[in-house]
């Protein structure tokens, strides 16, 4: 139960916790896309969001942890799945949206910096898993599961592995760059995985 | 043309450059697998390899750059491909060897730390690409190309994309951990990609 409605109160009344939290996440998300992870501090977020630094410390153990949650909140709508009943269509749309987020919409450097920082920071690694990796996997597996139930994906396919072979392949090009992240790449990922690459 | 043979000279004669370089790479590789990237300094490498720090500075712009080259030199034999003429067999063996390197043989934390550091260090990112990502891709694509020429892989398949859907999928589980890196995972990767995941 959110009490966001209370945000309409004027004057000295403190903003409800949910509203303060949302303001911090929004401000952090904007700052991430503007100038990236380096330089993101609780001071700057507090100033922009109009919240106290103490409040930020209460909710997030570090600016990195706040950044992850803000990133996921900012991109979550872009990671949502349609369900038109056609899994190939829905995967293509979702993956194209994801690749656009990483490239044209400049999310790539942000997520690369966050994943990079998590490699040497166990606290950030925990937040990466709980706030980003696991929920993102779950959104994909839920849509894939319905396709499996509909008979569009073979019943013995491990759907978690499919996530690694579609989104994981994109992260590979992002984090270990050598080949471009393009919409053609998305089409090739889907063609390979749906039909198989062996000569028929 | 290596002049390693000169390394047999005794006394005050300086070791040839190739031998010094090899000693530095070997010492760095050992230190990486023993204690990881944090704490790896030119001082420590110079002491262990019996080379001067000036020499290290001459060849490598940073300890991270040296670490990448050392890591690739250490694991290169593990990334080599058999060519038995059966692409599924050879991919399975190579991917199993790679997953064992990342898990049982403790290479995973080393490469995760290197890739992580590269996200915020453009110099290291350049070394990651030139010393690791690109040569590793090339080894895989060369083997896949022969399979394509032999008619085991369909002629219109983009082989670079296959690399992202096999090794890239493994890196996804390494760098954004949520699901385990196992030999069963390798089998599922190959089954999905070779046969396709759609209901037939």
Same domain, B21 and B97: no
* In the predicted structure, residue B9 carries a pLDDT above the cut 70: no
Residue A13 is predicted with a pLDDT of 63
Q: What is the mean pLDDT of residues B104-113?
A: 90
- Domain encompassing residue A93: 64-195
Q: How many CA atoms lie within 13 Å of A29's alpha carbon, on the beta-carbon side?
A: 14
The structure tokens listed for A52 are: 């106290």
Residue B4 is predicted with a pLDDT of 37
Residue B141 is assigned to a structural domain of this protein: yes
Instruction: Kindly provide the ipTM of the predicted complex, given to two decimals.
Output: 0.88
Question: Looking at A15, A37, A62, which one is the last position of a domain?
Answer: A62
B119/A contact by beta carbon, under 8 A: yes
Same domain, B160 and B186: yes
Pairwise CA distance, residues B189 & B162, whole Å: 11
Same domain, A80 and A179: yes
| Long-range interactions of B27-34: CB distance < 8 A, separation 24+ | B28/B66, B28/B67, B28/B69, B28/B70, B29/B70, B29/B71, B29/B73, B29/B74, B32/B67, B32/B70, B32/B71, B32/B74, B32/B110, B33/B74, B33/B105, B33/B106, B33/B107, B33/B110
Residue B182 is assigned to a structural domain of this protein: yes
Residue B37 is assigned to a structural domain of this protein: yes
Residue with the two structure tokens 């995972």: B185
Please count the structural domains in chain A.
2
Question: Looking at A41, A62, A83, which one is the last position of a domain?
Answer: A62
Residue A25 is assigned to a structural domain of this protein: yes
What digits encode the pLDDT tens for the residues B164-187? 999 999 999 999 999 999 999 999
Same domain, A47 and A126: no
Same domain, B29 and B80: no
A36: left (phi over 0), alpha (psi -120 to 50) or beta: left
Residue A8 is predicted with a pLDDT of 43
For CA atoms B183, B188, B193, B194, the dihedral sign is positive
For CA atoms B156, B159, B165, B166, the dihedral sign is positive
| Among the partner residues A129, A192, A196, nearest to B177 by beta-carbon distance | A129
CATH number at residue A43: 1.10.10.60
Same domain, A52 and A72: no
Same domain, B97 and B189: yes
Inter-axis angle of helices A183-195 and B159-175, nearest 10: 90
Q: How confident is the model at residue B72 (pLDDT cuts 50, 70, 90)?
A: confident
B194/A contact by beta carbon, under 8 A: yes
Same domain, B153 and B125: yes
Chain A, 134 to 163: residues with Cβ < 8 Å from chain B are 134, 137, 151-155, 157-158, 160-162
Computed over every residue of chain B, the mean pLDDT equals 90
| Among the partner residues A176, A192, A200, nearest to B128 by beta-carbon distance | A176
| Contact between A154 and B199 using a beta-carbon 8 Å cutoff | yes
| Among the partner residues A38, A118, A194, nearest to B196 by beta-carbon distance | A194
Q: How confident is the model at residue B13 (pLDDT cuts 50, 70, 90)?
A: low
Residue A200 is assigned to a structural domain of this protein: no
Could you report the average pLDDT of every consecutive run of 10 residues in chain A (200 residues)?
40 76 95 88 96 94 90 83 95 96 90 94 91 91 97 97 98 98 98 93
Q: Which residues contact A180 (CB under 8 A, 6 or more apart)?
A: A173
B39/A contact by beta carbon, under 8 A: no
CATH number at residue B164: 1.10.357.10
Tell me the shortest Cα–Cα distance from A20 to chain B, in angstroms. 29
A195/B contact by beta carbon, under 8 A: yes
| Contact between A198 and B194 using a beta-carbon 8 Å cutoff | yes
Residue B126 is assigned to a structural domain of this protein: yes
Same domain, A106 and A169: yes
**CB contacts, 8 Å: B157 with chain A:** 192, 197
Residue from A86, A138, A155, A172 to probe the interface with B (highest B Cβ count within 10 Å)? A172
Question: Looking at A18, A47, A62, which one is the last position of a domain?
Answer: A62
Name the 3-class secondary structure at B153: strand
If you count them, how many residues does chain B have?
200
Residue B188 is assigned to a structural domain of this protein: yes
For CA atoms B48, B49, B52, B54, the dihedral sign is negative
Q: How confident is the model at residue B28 (pLDDT cuts 50, 70, 90)?
A: very high
* In the predicted structure, residue B11 carries a pLDDT above the cut 60: no
Residue B46 is predicted with a pLDDT of 97
Q: What is the mean pLDDT of residues B152-175?
A: 98
| Among the partner residues B120, B161, B173, nearest to A38 by beta-carbon distance | B120
Residue B51 is assigned to a structural domain of this protein: yes
Buried b (16+ CB within 10 A) or exposed e, B13-23: eebbeebbbbb
Chain B: residue nearest A108 by CA? B119
Same domain, A141 and A151: yes
Same domain, B34 and B129: no
| Among the partner residues A172, A194, A196, nearest to B168 by beta-carbon distance | A172
Pairwise CA distance, residues A15 & A18, whole Å: 8
Same domain, A106 and A185: yes
């Amino acid at each position: 139960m959110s009490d966001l409605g209370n945000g309409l109160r004027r004057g000295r009344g403190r903003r409800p916790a949910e509203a303060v939290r949302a303001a911090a996440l929004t401000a952090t998300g904007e700052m991430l896309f503007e100038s990236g992870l380096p330089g993101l501090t609780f001071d700057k977020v507090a100033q922009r969001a109009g919240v106290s630094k103490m409040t930020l410390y209460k909710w997030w153990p570090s600016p990195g942890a706040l950044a992850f949650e803000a990133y996921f909140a900012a991109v979550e709508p872009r990671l949502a799945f349609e369900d038109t009943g056609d899994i190939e269509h829905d995967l293509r749309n979702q993956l194209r949206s994801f690749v656009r987020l990483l490239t044209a919409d400049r999310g790539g450097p942000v997520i690369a910096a966050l994943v990079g920082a998590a490699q040497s920071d166990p606290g950030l690694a925990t937040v990466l898993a709980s706030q980003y990796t696991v929920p993102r996997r779950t959104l994909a597996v839920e849509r894939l599961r319905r396709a499996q139930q509909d008979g569009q994906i073979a019943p013995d396919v491990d759907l978690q592995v499919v996530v690694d072979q579609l989104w994981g392949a994109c992260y590979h090009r992002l984090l270990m760059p050598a080949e471009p992240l393009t919409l053609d790449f998305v089409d090739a990922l889907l063609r390979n995985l749906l039909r198989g690459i062996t000569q028929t």
